[in-house]
Amino acid sequence: MTTPAIEINGLTKRYGSLTALDDISLSVNTGEMFGLIGPDGAGKSSLYRILATLMAPDSGSASVLGLDTVKDYRALRLRIGYMPERFSLYPDMTVMENLHFFASLFGVKIEDNYDLIAPFFGQLEKFPDRMAGKLSGGMKQKLALSCALIHRPDILLLDEPTTGVDAVSRSEFWDMLATLRQKEITILVSTSYMDEATRCGRIAMMDRGHILRVGTPDALAAGLGENLYNAVSADMFGLLSALRKLPEVSDCYTFGATLHVVGSDRFDSAEAERRLRREGIADARIYPAKGNIEDLFIKLAGNE
């Protein structure tokens, strides 16, 4: 087995009385596309900042590409590409100026690694002189990724790269990430879109400084172990509040065109439909559902 791309042992980070990361350990393999999911305050961005050598942990250690994030930060910085959550380019510099700037920081020429950024940067070449601040959301994201890749890093750290990006552009972005994986670049990516999480090889679900689960999307969804059903009616929000009142319903939440119902051991869908009819929801239909990462997220993060 090769060295892991990321090795985290007992990592802890506190801000005053708040423990952002609480003794976490994690290993990410070389060439892996690894996803991080979790609600606000889970510790994802703190973890990114430590891995990007921008912040030191209070205790524990993290190594990236075999280099310690504290002791070896200078050597490590040359080999990672980091795209923070907030747009971090210079808004009053043009597209080309931003790219040249990042290339010169790392002492490389744009031509050297152009093949790597071509799938992203291709669409930006049409307006090289536009100010970065004047680009649309999707274009800013492509420029930020190009700048993070221009020195051909071995690992990419992407903190919520697709927030505010439409569904079609998001799919294209993930298709492009897949091409980077073929070049053996390890990718650590966080997201609030669960459809994106299922495109990762493995996922870690974080909450309040802890890692709650690690596994492939399929294994995590299979481990849900829930009595899960779809429920539909013409009056979805009426149905939602009626279902929440049933004692054998452990949880009920909107799930696109249907509701998802988590039943207790005593839950019986035919009986629940009868009870709803008595409540005046005559058209309620309840049938088995297949859970996914979003259900797992709600189960783990919803129980506050």
Partner 1 sequence: MNEDNYAISVRGLTKRFGSFTAVDHISFDVGRGEIFGFLGANGAGKTTAMRMLCGLSRPTAGAGTVAGCDINTQSEMIKRRIGYMSQKFSLYEGLTVTENLRLFATIYGMSDRAIREQSNRVFSLLDMDNMRDTLVKDIPVGWKQKLAFASATIHRPDIVFLDEPTGGVDPVTRRKFWELIYRVSSEGMTVFVTTHYLDEAEYCNRVSIMVDGRITALDTPEALKSEYHADTMDQVFRIVARQATRGE
**CB of residue 145 to partner 1, shortest distance in Å:** 15
**CB of residue 199 to partner 1, shortest distance in Å:** 14
Sign of CA dihedral 272, 276, 278, 279: positive
- What b/e readout covers 156-186, taking b as 16+ CB neighbours within 10 angstroms? bbbbbbbeebeeebbebbbeebeebeeeebb
Residues that bind partner 1 (CB under 8 A): 37-41, 85, 123, 136-139, 160, 163-171, 192-195, 236-237, 240, 253-257, 294, 297-298, 301-302
**CB of residue 243 to partner 1, shortest distance in Å:** 13
Q: Which is nearer to partner 1, 113 or 141 (CB)?
A: 141
Q: Which is nearer to partner 1, 32 or 294 (CB)?
A: 294
Left (φ > 0), alpha (ψ -120 to 50) or beta: where does 160 sit? Answer: left
**CB of residue 135 to partner 1, shortest distance in Å:** 8
Among 271, 194, 150, which Cα is nearest to 36's? 194
**Gap between the Cα atoms of 132 and 125, Å rounded:** 13
Q: Which is nearer to partner 1, 104 or 123 (CB)?
A: 123
Angle at 193 between CA 250 and CA 148, to 5 degrees: 150
**CB of residue 124 to partner 1, shortest distance in Å:** 10
Q: How far apart are the first and last CA of the chain?
A: 39
Q: Which is nearer to partner 1, 152 or 213 (CB)?
A: 213
Q: Which is nearer to partner 1, 257 or 270 (CB)?
A: 257
